[in-house]
Structure 1
Amino acid sequence: MYHRLRVGLLVVFCLSIGNLFGLFAQHSTDYYSLSMVGNAGNGIFAPYYLSANKHGLVTHSKSGYLRASVFKGLEMNKRFSYEFGIDLVGLMSSTSPVSYYSDGNLKTYNPGVSSFFIQQAYIGMKYRMIFISAGCRELTDEVVNFELSSGGLVWSGNARPIPQVRAGFIDFVDIPFTKGWVQIKGELAYGKFMDNDFLRDHYNYYNQYITTDALYHHKSISFRSNPDKPFVVTIGAELAAQFGGTKRYYEKGILIDSLTMKSPTRLKDFFKILFPSSGDGQTNEGDQAYYYGNHVGQWNLSAEYRFKDNSSVRGYFEWYFDDASGMGKFNGWDGLWGLEYKSGKKNWLSNVVLEYLDMTNQSGPLNWCPSDYNDPKLD
């Protein structure tokens, strides 16, 4: 039990059986857990440091949940291994209040209590260093320290897991002919957003579009220098996208059928998302003028030096982009800048993280596109 005196009260009770090896560690083991969490504070929403990095489980100032989990991890010392996980949550709080327009008037109501849901449910396997998995599981940004960071720029750790199929390298592997001096890691995923009910409940239906049944795509690639050396450099890129779905327009709460459009999800559209390209005549005008789907991503760079006493210091940078100007780093100091120290020992102070987050530029006042404006300002 511990207290956040400035922002509220968080009470935790946890009973665990087996070796509680980190859920996101590469060499995880089997374990079972049962936990109960409650928090209380002022206002509608939970304070940031009570809700951050909880994968959407804590959202209200007064809430709680009971959680039961069973996991089997991959055995990395075996050529072939399999994994699975099931994580059930009983929620003891209602969802966020909703404001909406009806007959030209703004109204508010509470959708009620979501009593039970599946937080994680997945299966997976690996052969040598190649893995494939299916289902929804809590994933985190691999660049930042999940427990101490403010969160990654593409994977924040603040939202519910997305059901998806993932495949790639389970860890870094040597690139042939580099004699271990350069390693590579990457993965590819397709999934589906499961937030239709949330969107419908929180949409005001007043002269706005709403898109439901959207699909999800994610890919990443990283290169790392020899990890056995004291100085290690890692550079990578990550891209996530929304595509497909049905877009509907409401005017003063009335659906305008003539403006409803369903984005195609043909086989070639999956390739258009994998290799970003313009949409065809069956997509909306924006996807035809630019790229099919909604893409966001980041470049990342980290450099770590390990001392002889096994302590280390690491600097890292995540550089977010939503258009060409951000991708080309024409967005000033925007990004997540971090410095991490590890003592290499299990004591009262084992890790220290210092971060600076700047999102003031946002790629300038206009998208980078000559057809939008002849001389877009980037300051």
Structure 2
Amino acid sequence: KNAPFWFYANRNGKFSPAPYAGSLSLSIEKPAARPARWWDYSFAVALTGGVDGVKTFDSIADINDNLKSLINPSGYSFNKKKSQKWRYSIDELYAHVRLWCFDISAGFKRFYFGNSYNTHLESEVPLSSGAMLWSQNAAPLPIISVGIDKYTAIPFTYGYAEVKGALIHGWFIDGVGTRRTMLHYKYIAGRLGGKLPVNINYEFHHAAQWGGYSDEYGELGSSLYDWWLVFGAHEGDNIYNEKYNALGNHIGSQNIGLELKLKHWHVNAYWQTLFEDGPVLAPWKALNRYDGLWGVQISQDKWSFISSVMYEFLNTTDQSGPTHDIDGVVFGGSDSYFNNSIYPQGWTNRGFVLGIPFIISPVVTNSERVIYNRTMTHNV
């Protein structure tokens, strides 16, 4: 048994899915407050501690015994199957500096990427269940990030063409059968339209787990040359699986979106894909083109009784077909999203899936890997 889904999903890994749990969070934060100046900074320290309790009963007699002990507090005690688990985590511990349009961040910092988070109105709050590849579901990793966090106009385009993106290096805190695993993440996003009421956007995201030490394969390659192979998604040369596939556990997403921006209204429509096999093709030509996230959010600030409505449809049942390595040459099919044979923990951190939370996290199923990754979900 678990707590209700939205009690713990998309909470940055702060809250436990246990049915009985309590948490306490403390934070100190200095937000960026000078957007018009050529430089700004921010930092945050946030900690969460809590306890999970699980109470089970063998029979009706056990329930009666516990009810009697509640009536007589002096004799109250949990039954032998009751357990408690104390937990604590670093929610955020980072410093961030902006120089002109460039952003540099280091530490445990919450990031979430994808065009499902695009906003226009000052009071608008994204209602999306999260981006396919990187959402608000898991706790942040320690990272170093260099990039442009917000859409910035390209010179000489009069604001009609904008770009943002980042290059990120990070470290996974825990692992199943692996240690010292590293994160490579980069993305580039472009938007056309500027002040026009209709904008279109496109984002390309590429992530990889790489390096470290495997209990089964030994050292996995953590040199600068290995990083370059990971950056370009080139083949490895040490492990059989990586001789014919890219070095590391690679996963990516393409986002296509359309926005309608008016004085009191904002409509954000988006389509996000997920891919684990190459080559990378146009979303409508990919092997798993029937999988993805389709959504639309309509927001307004003219009337106070409602601010936004949102609908999403998620499908991950295709996974490039039922068979892996169909002809022995083209490696693909049976993708098993967020899982990997060399990095058994898969695309997770502290037991929570880093991507969209409807792919159920191992911490929920009490397992070491993602079990339920085929779903067809409507979200309103």
Compute the TM-score of the two structures, normalised by the length of structure 2: 0.72
Aligned to 1:185: 164
Between the aligned partners of 1:288 and 1:73, the Cα distance in structure 2 is 46
Unmatched tracts of structure 2, length 5 or more = 55-80, 118-124, 336-380
Aligned to 2:264: 310
Which of residues 195, 198, 208 in structure 2 aligns to 1:228?
A: 195
Tell me: CA distance 1:148–1:233, structure 2 relative to 1, closer, same or farther (3 Å): same
- Answer whether contact 1:153 1:298 (CA < 8 A) is retained: yes
Tell me: CA distance 1:180–1:368, structure 2 relative to 1, closer, same or farther (3 Å): farther
- Answer whether contact 1:341 1:353 (CA < 8 A) is retained: yes
Between the aligned partners of 1:66 and 1:377, the Cα distance in structure 2 is 41
Residues 214-273 of structure 1, C-alpha deviations (whole Å, 9 max, x = no match): 111111100101331100111111111100122224xxxxxxxxxx41111001111111
Does 2:292 align with 1:335? Answer: yes
Does 2:14 align with 1:57? Answer: yes
Aligned to 2:73: none
Matches within 5 A, 1:235-254: 235-249=202-216
Residue 178 (structure 1) shift: 2.8
* Paired residue secondary structure (1:270): helix
* Paired residue secondary structure (2:273): strand
Aligned to 1:132: 104
Between the aligned partners of 1:112 and 1:372, the Cα distance in structure 2 is 51
Which of residues 114, 132, 144 in structure 2 aligns to 1:165?
A: 144
Larger mean Cα displacement after TM superposition, 220-229 or 359-368: 359-368
Aligned to 2:49: 90
Aligned to 2:246: 291
* Paired residue secondary structure (1:321): coil
Residue 143 (structure 1) shift: 1.7
- Answer whether contact 2:319 2:333 (CA < 8 A) is retained: no
Which of residues 186, 206, 211 in structure 1 aligns to 2:178?
A: 211
Between the aligned partners of 2:158 and 2:94, the Cα distance in structure 1 is 36
The one-letter code sitting in structure 2 at the alignment partner of 1:61 is P
Unmatched tracts of structure 1, length 5 or more = 1-42, 96-108, 200-209, 250-259
Between the aligned partners of 2:239 and 2:199, the Cα distance in structure 1 is 45
Aligned to 2:313: 356
Between the aligned partners of 1:190 and 1:89, the Cα distance in structure 2 is 25
Between the aligned partners of 2:265 and 2:223, the Cα distance in structure 1 is 51
Tell me: CA distance 1:137–1:373, structure 2 relative to 1, closer, same or farther (3 Å): closer
Residue 331 (structure 1) shift: 1.6
CA RMSD for the aligned pairs? 2.7
Residue 333 (structure 1) shift: 2.0
Tell me: CA distance 1:154–1:92, structure 2 relative to 1, closer, same or farther (3 Å): same
The one-letter code sitting in structure 2 at the alignment partner of 1:314 is N
* Paired residue secondary structure (1:320): coil
Determine which structure has greater relative contact order: mean sequence separation of CA pairs < 8 Å that are 6+ residues apart, divided by chain length. Answer: 2
Between the aligned partners of 1:343 and 1:79, the Cα distance in structure 2 is 32
Matches within 5 A, 1:96-135: 113-135=85-107
Aligned to 2:113: 141
- Answer whether contact 2:154 2:162 (CA < 8 A) is retained: yes
Query: Which structure shows the bigger proportion of residues in strand conformation?
Result: 1
- Answer whether contact 2:127 2:297 (CA < 8 A) is retained: no
* Paired residue secondary structure (2:138): coil
Aligned to 1:366: 323
* Paired residue secondary structure (1:223): strand
Aligned to 1:73: 31
Between the aligned partners of 1:242 and 1:375, the Cα distance in structure 2 is 19
Tell me: CA distance 1:273–1:112, structure 2 relative to 1, closer, same or farther (3 Å): farther
Aligned to 1:12: none
Tell me: CA distance 1:115–1:347, structure 2 relative to 1, closer, same or farther (3 Å): same
Residue 315 (structure 1) shift: 1.2
The one-letter code sitting in structure 1 at the alignment partner of 2:213 is T
Residue 305 (structure 1) shift: 1.2
Residue 121 (structure 1) shift: 0.3
The one-letter code sitting in structure 2 at the alignment partner of 1:161 is P
Residue 318 (structure 1) shift: 0.3
Tell me: CA distance 1:275–1:94, structure 2 relative to 1, closer, same or farther (3 Å): farther
Percent identity of equivalent pairs? 28
